[in-house]
Structure 1
Amino acid sequence: MSKKRKKRNKRHSDSSQYARKQMRGSEVQREQKSRTPCVQRPEEAQPEGTEEAVSEGKARAAVKERPAVLMDRDTQCEKEQVEVPPSIPEAPFSTEEATPSSQVENGEAEPLPEPLHVSEEEQPKEEAIPYEATQLLKEAEEQPKEGEAIPEVMEQAEEQPEPLYVSEEKEEQPKEEEPESSGEEEKKEVALPETVQTREGKVQDAAAVPAVAVVDEQAEMPETKPEEAELVPGPKAPIVQRKLPLSRRLSIGVRLALVFCLLAPLCAGVIYGVNAWVTYTSLRTHAENGVQHLLNMKTLLAGSGSTDGQSMIRKSPSSMLDASTLKDAKEEVLAAKAEFEALKGLLNDSAVIHHISQWLPQFEPQITSAKAASQIGIELTDIAQIALDAGIQLAPRFRGPLLANEQKPLVTSTDLQLLQQTLQQVMPRLDKIEQQARLLSLDALPLDTAQRNQLQQYVLLLPQVRETLGLLENMMGVAGWLLGVDTPRTFLVQTMDRGELRATGGFTGQFGELKINGGRVAPFSLTNVALIEYAPGSPNSEQDAPKEYRSWWPFANWGLRDANLSADFPASAKIIMQAYKDELKKNVDGVIMFTPFLIEHMLQVIGPLSIPKYNETVTAENLEDRLHYYQLDNAGILKIKTIEHIENNEEARKVFTSLVAQALMARIRNASFDELLVLGVMGLQNLKTKDLQIYFANEQAQQLLSRYGYAAEIDRSTDHDAFYLVQTNVSASKASQYVRTLMKDTVTLDAQGGATHMLQIRLAYNQLGSVYGLDTYRDYIRLYVPPDAKFLWGNGFDTGEPLCGGTLGHCPAQGIYPGQELICPTDQYEAGASAPMIGDPYYRQWHPLNKIGPPNNFKSDIAGRAMFGGYLVVPKNCTMLATIAWYVPPQKGQQAGVYDLLVQRQAGTFPELDLTLQKAESGCATMPRDGLYYNGVMTQDMLFKLDEGQHENAASCPEKPAVAV
């Protein structure tokens, strides 16, 4: 090994000692400065007596590179400008630091002197070694031995400040000069790293860090007095490049990876959550805005308005005919459509919604419901826009009284085409709404209870709206015919008096002609039919009833007033139209009949009618009473004769009724659009209850009525069991209003699905007022059943064989029939007088009470129905019981295990039905969950359904409530 290499090894081995001393000196100096008041440090001077001293500029540069702690203290002292003599002399700088290595190697400069040493006795006891010094010691120990490679040192060591160390000697030790180095020896230089890492892990610029870090915590510094220490120059400590151990570097990498793994999902989750919240907010905003625009449209058309800025009143439906209102409503509809389309697009295109649907299936119902709701909103706005466009075109035509007789038509063929096109566009969209409604889950939408209930009601109304619009669409083909668009139409109108019950609902004593031209209604009046049929030479004189009814119709001179013989209204209407043609020589396009209940319902809408001449106000409550008073009461008839100056009683009887009809039609012709809408809806309801019955000669129009159950037909279906009880008052009185009809039907089902009926018909006649005729009530009963029904037995019907009373003497006071079928007050079993009947042997005499038995007429007047018929005779204030039993085999279209029974109601009556269905083997009624037992008043046709899968055999028969008599 060369001398140069050995010398460098020796110098490097001494660096650890210099590092300890430098560390101690720095700690002592820092402790001294912390205890000494801040003073102005004297100018750093170039040490004298040293030939190898560096230039003054380099010495000052070395001073500026002192540790940061000492520099901060010096800077503070310079700011305070306090001058005190220096307590510690400044140590001279090392000539090795100031002399370039190239000069040493070339012999141009003398070698550095040997460093001064402090004796071990004078050294302070070591308490704690700073971390930087420990590292330097460790690296010094790891230096290669002789023959090994020398560790790299920094190339530009001359630019670093001279390291200092603390000497405990009170007096300055003489310097030992190193022998002059030969020119052959050269100093090993290494590149200085650009950055170094401190103990705390901070990365700093290497130029700002001293060659040896000597600053440590103040609490770890040994306590040394200032006068016992002085700074002395020492040999230059080599600067080594510190490398972190592999384990530590791996640990830091793992920690960074863990941090990234933790923070990356968190950041992504936050970003995704923000995006989801923005998407949800946008969805909710679009939905709320769209609904609000629809509500605004509703308010404009039929919502609430303000008249004085404070009070709120409900707008009438006629507000829909205002052009400006329709335009404002259309703007709201277009705005609502834009919101719903934006909502749909966001649901279909949003990545958030797609990811939620893919990775969070529990939210799929909410997403599906939201998509269905958006599509429903779009379809609703389309329907509203189509309807508003049509309304804007038609609105000018519907101003003022709609039915007034004017020259200008209310409806034209062009208008009908527009309405038909509108309905054709609306119906497919309504079908789409129904389809989307099946995908809609109201619980999955962000709605409160009130909104959810309101929306549920709208959803339930969809089938009804669909049915109504379907009816209107089908009627467009015949609307022109009905409204007289091309040709004026004439319909025969007849009133029915339910006090004198007939098959269609009442006696038809008055008639009139309703003429319609272009949607306008001509003035209307009623005529007393008796003035035509009772006049001399009347065409109905000595005329018999149609052959289907001659077997039981008792009166001669059959004509228009008695033409409603069939409970099947289309059949009666055809008979009426033919009779009208025969008697008045006119053809009509249809027949319209109604009971007093229809007039009562109309008066509830349009209000009472005033008849000033008679000082009468007719209301829904007193209608029947006022009509009967002026028709049948002698005092009322006399009043008419006095006011009208009429001598004929028959002519006077119907004058007041005609005045009421004229006032009613005048009121309807001048009714507002709002009132006509209500009357139209009410008319549909009365068609169901048969208080309004219509027949059209146009086959297409009549089929529409039949399809939707408005034709008042007798049911002829073969897929269920049915019966229809029809009553006809042939007493020549108005006694029907005081007769209660009670039906108790017990149906026993066999294993094959057949049904055995035992029907009890009880007529309770309690005469509470004048009947304007004979006291005894005679009622012809017809029971219509399926065509394959088999009659079993019956009782209670008049056989025509006299029993007692009349010319035969008085009947027993306590009863005349063994089964107590007739129950009367004591000693009132008398038949009394009767209206003149064809072939009556007791003409103009008191009639006896006859024997009773089964019905005697089995010839049906209705095709496709079997019939059991006969008379029931009920004296005043008595009750008569008739019984009919029959068997109905399983119907062809009847579903296996299911039994359906349709019970039809006759117009003008309110029968009380007590129905029980039971299985043959049980011996009593088996109670299913619904429809097996019913007891109530019928107001329309009723269908009862019994499914054997719903039965549970009852241990005992349930107790039935008794039927009041």
Structure 2
Amino acid sequence: MKPRRCTLPGARVENSPKFADRMRDISSWREGDFRSLSTRAKKKYYRRKSAIEDYFTSNISIDEITLRKHISSERLLQLAEQCLMQAEDGSPWGFRALMPGVNVIDYAAQPAAEAPSSGISGEDTQNLNHETKSDHAVNPPAPEVAAPASPDEDKDYDTAKRLAIKRSQQSFQHDAGIPETPPTPALQVEGEEPAESGEPAAELDEPTAKLEPLSREEEEQVEATAELDEPTVKLEPLSRDQAAVSEEAALAANLATPGDVEESGEVEHVTAGQDGDEATVEPVQIPLENDETLTEPASSADSTEDERVTVPTDAQDAITEVERILVEEKGEARTALSARDGRGEGAKETLPVAYAPTHLAPLSMPVYIRRTALDGKRAVAIHRRLVHKRWMRDEQVHTKKRRSLQIVSFAILAACILFGLVPVGAGVAAYGAYNNISGIAHDGINHLLKVKSLLPVSKSDPTAALNEKNLTQAQVEFKAAQSDFIQLQQLVDRTDVQAAITQFAPQYSNKLGMGQKLVQVALDVSRMGDELCGVALIGANIIHGSPLSSGSTKPVISAADVAAIDGSMVHALYYIDDIQQQMSQVSIKDIPVSDSQKKQLVSVMNLLPTAQDTIIQAQGMVGLVAWLLGIGHQRRFLVQTMDRAELRPGGGFTGQYGILQIQDGRMSPFNLTDVTLIDYAENGTAIGRNAPPGYSWMNFGNWGIRDSNLSGDFPTTARMTMQLFQDEGGGPVDGDIAFTPALISHILNVIGPIKVPGYNETITPQNLEDRLHYYQQDFSAIAREKQISGNYSHAGRKAFTSTLGKLLLDRVRHATIKQLIAIVKGAIKDIQSRDLEIYFTNPAAETWLADHGYSGSIDTFTKQDGFMVVQANISISKASQYVHTTEQDNVTLDAQGGATHNLTITLDYQQKGSVYGFDTYADYIRVYAPRNAQLTGGDGFDTGKPLCSPGPIRTSPALGNTGTIVLTGCGQYNSFFPSNARNCPDGNYSLGMRGGLNTPWVIDSLGPPTELNSDLPGRAMWGGLTETPKNCISTISLSWYVPHAVQKVYGQPSYTILVQKQSGLSPTIGLTIDASAVNGLKSFSFKGDINADRTFNLRPPPRKK
């Protein structure tokens, strides 16, 4: 037999079952999918989940859980049972049953006769039934111990299961109160079966004293005596219910003794459900003075649910304690309001709530002692009446004093509650507002963190972030974050919220000011990210839209896109400036983030100036890129190939050309054409045309595009070439693009070898130039390619080159994004090495190239010392591939800051293979130096003064005959040369025939440069012609002085020299600087090949601290 526990009225019945019976392993329970829930629904889900975890995994009582989690015990047990129900997949519903609005169905097959009890132990059910049936039926629960219903409970919870308390409809009209004694509540024994519905749960005790009835004479005497001074009580007819209550009141008056004044409660009318354990609770009317009542709702389920904020556990405990105190005080106030002595005028009497009918004790009339003498009896009656009357007067006075005391006490209590509740409520509201702010902020930050995962930054793959799907999702996240931060900004800017937090939560007031600035920063980041994602989407469309493809006419980029990009950059600059301004007023060390996040934030802030400069530079590029891509207007660019085997000032002989047309980012079909077709087959303007003044050394005649590469300054060469192209019928162009085979080799390194069908050739970076020369110079190869191509004209010798160009371009069009990026990176290096040279007619575009060192121009050497050697192969041969150039410059710095240069140029011509053209290497060399440079000497240049000339045939007289013919002239110079500037180790100094003139080379003496006037303004230049027989070495020397070459930097001497290289050439540079005469500088030396312009700096060592 189970032990029973005795529960006194008003005591709380422990709801918690045995801990061992409710413990469950919930580690395998599945989580609910709450991603689509609102913030409010998520909070409700987490509150339920926390309560269920405490219920199944801890020894905390149910009452403790309900108080902490703000959830009723009935709802808690219901949720626990639902979690253990079997879902459709065969596993427990688990945490999925806690999702707001989910319909939990038990798919487990259960017997019809058994009640579900999987989630709640037997003792849970017993305790619950005991509480709802037995305890409520006999002893109404006191307000201070009842678990408060959570205001955040689900709206779908069945409110019909809650008790409703109805106000009694009876009213009494009397002149004097009738004292009442409430019925003695019966003891409740736990474990006993509750009373059945309709039967009384407890009965009042019958009176133990049996009084004898009065005789008729005595009754008449008493009645007569009572009619003397008794006040008349007028009562209205009562209804059946009122009559029952009136009988109960009469019973209480009969049992009461003078001076006993007990409080009575209001009768609760209970409508029992079918099972007898459910009842509907209606609002409770609390009587006040002058028939006024206070109405308390039985449940908050019908009221509008306010927005709630989840607070930390310690805050929840504090709020729960405040609520408990307020409930106790409210219960005491209600008792004070309803407590009366039963005699006050207009008082409303209430009885304790009862859930079962109660039998009333029978009314017993007072028994009087029968007396024989009428006077004695009358005297006794009068005495009793007088005593009663005096007692009544005293009681009335006492009642009035008590009522006054009660009114004063109620006023004081109400004031205490008011002054205590308002600050507490305001403080809780302020704390809740702060937590609401924090929640919204974290939501916005979470959206920004998602963007970080969607757009990874990869140094190996810069286009990893240009994924259209990820960019679109990132834009959604930025918009969501922007919405959160706008809401947050409106909230933190409200004066009432600021005042509440400052007054009731001062510990958060400092953080509020910092939070306002951080919210603005987050809003700037969200807005800027949204716009930049739009720009990135345009970029992704350009990259993935195959701009090199000629099979589509759809524009890759429009004018509207360009305007959007430009606007986004303007806005980005504003956002960055605002971020810097806001963050300047925030101390990063006070931001509530981890140390690592603070370091990241500092690094990001340090990058903002760089980002600002980059955007400013990009702003200037928007218009240029739009111009280059032909937005709204087609662009035409002349493209030329340069053969560095026949070195020219701009890089090489330009034997082929093509026209690159671009409109709205889409490129038209492109192919290469033999340059002779426009030089000779068009309008014939090249016939008889000479080179411009200053370039008289180019004296081949019929000067055309093929020979227009005259200047080492590519902008100068490009302008001459474009003018010739237009004059010869090619039309106007917007720029000139020239490249050497080195660019093609670098592209092949990225896309791989190319197989040329029909020729049985596989072209690699290593054999590219050899195969090109073979099919252009070998007669048998030329005949073969003419046969394969079917082109037997002069242009047929370039058929192989044209076919290879088409195959190369097709491979580039189908290259991956990663390959295209590698090609672009290689092209930038080729621009620096001058193997790719670009000129634009747009001044802004050309200025941008010059500012970044991509223009291919010759420096003016105004900011530092320097020089550049420019060579031009005018021997009409492909011999440059066998000539190696060495430039040795010995610089001596003097005490006055001047620099003396002694430059030696060595041309080592070793003909290791066949040469297309003439053997002698004729090279016109020019050296450019600072404008103020002063030439002091030179050697190795053709002076134009012959050492000899073919003389007449003379006969040497001899005895007895006519003499011997003696040849006179220059034959002696075929085996030696009277200058060390020309050295032929094999002894063959013969120059042979001169190309283009078909005459023998004139053997001239060597000396200083013959050209002293620069073809480029702002620079000094010295130059002249040199001739080098095959397998010989020519040495050219120059000396000059540059004043004020040493400059002062921060009061310290500094010397800088720039050595520029020519396109199509990789010379070996030897540089020695003697700085012994300059205090603070150390001498320097260098030797090596250079593939780009090279700067050498001499600065004093840093001072020791």
Whether TM-score is above 0.5 comes out as: yes
Deviations 1:138-162 (A, max 9, x none): xxxxxxxxxxxxxxxxxxxxxxxxx
Counterpart check, 1:659 vs 2:659? no
Q: Deviations over 1:189-224 (max 9, x none)?
A: xxxxxxxxxxxxxxxxxxxxxxxxxxxxxxxxxxxx
Partner AA of 1:297 in structure 2: L
CA distance in 1, matches of 2:662, 2:775: 31
Give, in angstroms, the shift of residue 822 of structure 1: 2.6
- Whether 2:553 is the aligned partner of 1:402: answer no
Q: Report whether the alignment pairs 1:882 with 2:1042.
A: no
Q: Which residue of 2 aligns with 1:909?
A: 1065
Match of 1:514 among 638, 654, 660: 660
CA distance in 2, matches of 1:805, 1:434: 81
User: Which residue of the partner structure matches residue 721 of structure 2?
Assistant: 576
Question: Relative to 1, partners in 2 of residues 1:831 and 1:484: Cα closer, same or farther, differing over 3 Å?
Answer: same
Structure 1 residue identity aligned to 2:650: T
> What displacement does 1:861 show?
0.5
- Aligned partners of 1:338 and 1:893: how far apart in 2? 58
- Per-residue deviation, 1:513: 0.7
User: Partners in 1 of 2:667 and 2:894 — Cα distance?
Assistant: 56
Give the match's secondary structure for 1:665.
helix
CA contact (8 A) 1:492 1:511 kept: yes
The verdict on how the C-alpha distance between 1:373 and 1:769 changes in structure 2, with shifts beyond 3 A counting, is: farther
Distance in 2 (CA, whole Å) between partners of 1:688 and 1:751 is 35
Counterpart in 2 of 1:898? 1054
Q: Which has the higher contact order (CA 8 A, sep 6+)?
A: 1
CA contact (8 A) 1:927 1:933 kept: no
With over 3 angstroms needed to count, the CA separation of the structure-2 counterparts of 1:325 and 1:765, relative to structure 1, is: same
SS in 2 for 1:493: strand
Instruction: Specify the alignment match of 1:224 in structure 2.
Output: none
* Distance in 1 of aligned mates of 2:885 and 2:1034: 10
SS in 1 for 2:1024: strand
In 2, Cα distance between the equivalents of 1:413 and 1:561? Answer: 38
Q: Which residue of 2 aligns with 1:809?
A: 971
Task: State the distance in 1 between where 2:1047 and 2:769 align.
Answer: 44
Native 8 Å contact 2:777 2:916 kept in 1: yes
CA distance in 2, matches of 1:578, 1:852: 37
Q: Which residue of 1 aligns with 2:474?
A: 329
1:138-157 mapped onto 2 (5 Å cutoff): none
Q: Indicate the SS of the match to 2:1034.
A: strand
Shift of 1:704: 1.9
For residue 584 of structure 1, give the secondary structure of its aligned residue in structure 2.
coil
Q: In the alignment, is the contact (CA less than 8 A) between 1:293 and 1:336 conserved in 2?
A: no
Which residue does the alignment assign to 1:831? 991
Q: Which residue of 2 aligns with 1:272?
A: none
Q: Check conservation: 1:830, 1:848, Cα contact below 8 A.
A: no
Q: State the 1:613 CA deviation.
A: 2.4
Cα shift at 1:329: 3.3
> Structure 2-normalised TM-score?
0.50
Q: CA deviation at 1:827?
A: 1.7
Shift of 1:673: 4.4
Alpha-carbon distance change, 812 to 652 in structure 1, aligned in 2, over 3 angstroms: closer
Of the structure 1 ranges 770-779 and 398-407, higher mean CA displacement relative to structure 2 is found in 398-407
Contact 1:523–1:665 (Cα < 8 Å) also in 2? no
Change (3 A) 1:853 1:682: same
TM-superposed CA distance for 1:864, in Å, is: 0.8
Q: CA deviation at 1:770?
A: 2.3
Give the drift of 1:893: 8.6
Which residue, 1005, 1009, 1029 being the options, matches 1:851? Answer: 1005
Separation of aligned partners in 2, 1:703 and 1:828: 50
Cα shift at 1:654: 0.8
Deviations 1:435-474 (A, max 9, x none): 99999999xx9889xx999999x99998987666544321
Q: Take 2:986 and 2:470, find their aligned partners in 1: how far apart are those partners?
A: 72
One-letter amino acid of the structure 2 residue matched with residue 816 of structure 1: F
Q: Note if contact 1:805-1:830 (Cα within 8 Å) is conserved in structure 2.
A: no
Report the Cα distance in structure 1 between the residues aligned to 2:644 and 2:476, rounded to whole angstroms: 53
Does residue 387 of the first structure (1) align with residue 543 of the second (2)?
A: no
Matches within 5 A, 1:102-113: none
Q: Which moved more, 1:796-805 or 1:610-619?
A: 796-805
1:297 & 1:683 partners in 2: Cα distance?
30
Rg larger for: 1
Deviation at 1:768, TM superposition (A): 2.2
Decide whether the 8 Å contact of 1:734 with 1:773 is kept in 2: yes
Residue by residue over 1:249-285, the C-alpha shift from the partner in whole angstroms, topping out at 9 and shown as x without a partner, is xxxxxxxxxxxxxxxxxxxxxxxxxxxxxxxxx9xx9
Residue equivalent to 1:822: 982
**Rounded Cα–Cα distance in structure 2 between residues aligned with 1:745 and 1:601:** 31
Change (3 A) 1:336 1:440: farther
State the alpha-carbon separation in 2 of the partners of residues 817 and 454 from structure 1. 74
Matched, 1:566 2:726: no
CA distance in 1, matches of 2:823, 2:518: 34
**Distance in 2 between the 1:638 and 1:563 partners?**
29
Query: Which whole-Å CA distance do the structure 2 matches of 1:435 and 1:653 have between them?
Result: 67
Q: Matched residue of 1:508: which SS?
A: strand
Could you list the per-position Cα deviations for residues 370-398 of structure 1 after superposition, in whole angstroms to 9, with x for gaps in the alignment? x9999999987765443213334675566
**Are the aligned partners of 1:718 and 1:893 in contact in 2 as well (CA < 8 Å)?**
no
Residue 607 of structure 1 and its aligned partner are, at CA, apart by 3.2
Find the residue that maps to 2:876 and give its secondary structure: coil
- 8 Å contact kept, 1:402–1:671: no
Contact 1:741–1:762 at 8 Å: present in 2 too?
yes
Structure 1 distance, partners of 2:609, 2:745, is: 29
Indicate which of 925, 933, 938 corresponds to 1:789: 933
Q: What residue is the counterpart of 1:296 in the other structure? A: 453
Distance 1:922 1:518, change over 3 A: closer
> Contact 2:443 / 2:484 at 8 angstroms: preserved in 1?
yes
Pair 1:893–1:548, CA change in 2 (3 A) = farther
Counterpart in the other structure of 2:571? 425
- The alpha-carbon deviation at position 725 of structure 1 amounts to 0.9
Against the structure 1 CA distance between its residues 387 and 886, is the aligned structure 2 distance closer, same or farther, given a 3 Å change threshold?
same
Q: CA 1:396 to 1:879, structure 2 compared with 1: closer, same or farther past 3 Å?
A: closer
Selected match of 1:777 from 901, 904, 921: 921
Instruction: Supply the distance in 1 between the matched residues of 2:977 and 2:614 (Cα, whole angstroms).
Output: 56
CA contact (8 A) 2:466 2:539 kept: no
Which of 696, 703, 721 is 2:840 aligned to? Answer: 696
**Which residue is equivalent to 1:644?**
789
Other structure's SS at 2:471 match: helix
- How far apart are the structure 2 equivalents of 1:394 and 1:821? 58
Q: 1:863 aligns with which of 1008, 1011, 1017?
A: 1017
Distance in 1, matches of 2:560 and 2:483, equals 32
In structure 2, C-alpha distance between the alignment counterparts of 1:893 and 1:588, rounded to whole Å: 43
Q: CA deviation at 1:578?
A: 0.9
C-alpha change, 1:316 and 1:708, in structure 2 (3 Å) is closer
Counterpart contact for 1:830–1:849, Cα < 8 Å: no
Q: Deviations over 1:600-633 (max 9, x none)?
A: 2222233333321222232323221221111112
Q: CA deviation at 1:477?
A: 1.9
Q: How many residues align?
A: 627
What displacement does 1:795 show?
Answer: 1.0
Give the CA RMSD over aligned residues: 4.6
Match of 2:1082 in 1: 927
Q: Secondary structure at the match of 2:659?
A: strand
Alignment partner of 1:733 out of 864, 873, 877 = 877
Aligned partner letter, 2:985: P
- Superposed counterparts of 1:372-521, under 5 Å: 384-392=529-537, 399-405=544-550, 406-427=552-573, 469-521=615-667
Classify 1:430/1:921 alpha carbon distance in 2 versus 1 (closer, same or farther; 3 Å): same
Q: Do residues 557 (structure 1) and 702 (structure 2) align?
A: yes
Alpha-carbon contact 1:297-1:333 (below 8 Å) kept:
no
In structure 2, relative to structure 1, the CA distance for the partners of 1:428 and 1:611 (3 Å cut) is farther
